[in-house]
Amino acid sequence: MNPETGTTKAGKEWKRQAFLIEYQDGNFTKQVSIQAKSDAVINVVSHARINDTLVCDINVESREWNDRFYTDVTAWKVQIKSDISF
């Protein structure tokens, strides 16, 4: 997915990029859309290729608006698995 940019009402510029990960849950493949908001995380995500294994440190936050809940999953650290030791 392509990065999005904009400017807040206060004049502060922002950038974010969504990316999709897949993981196995038993016999089922699950997908999660995650947002990257820092330049460092966006840089790692932009270098990841399909089928790379990523290790993501995330924050999950929900907020209510008009009697509905919306959930954001935001990565604050991402590493490509080949770049780290387990």
Residue 86, domain member (yes or no) = no
Structure tokens at 7: 């400017």
Q: CATH number of the domain that 62 lies in?
A: 2.40.50
Half-sphere exposure (Cβ direction) of 28: Cα atoms closer than 13 Å: 3
| pLDDT per residue as tens digits for the range 7-35 | 999 999 999 999 999 989 999 999 999 99
Whole-structure pTM value:
0.80
Write out the residue range of the structural domain in which residue 13 sits.
4-81
Residue 53, domain member (yes or no) = yes
Whether the CB-CB separation of 20 and 9 falls below 8 Å is answered with no
> H-type helices in 1-86, by residue range?
39-47
Domain count, the chain: 1
Residue 20, domain member (yes or no) = yes
Indicate the pLDDT class of residue 83, thresholds 50, 70 and 90: low
Whether the CB-CB separation of 31 and 21 falls below 8 Å is answered with yes
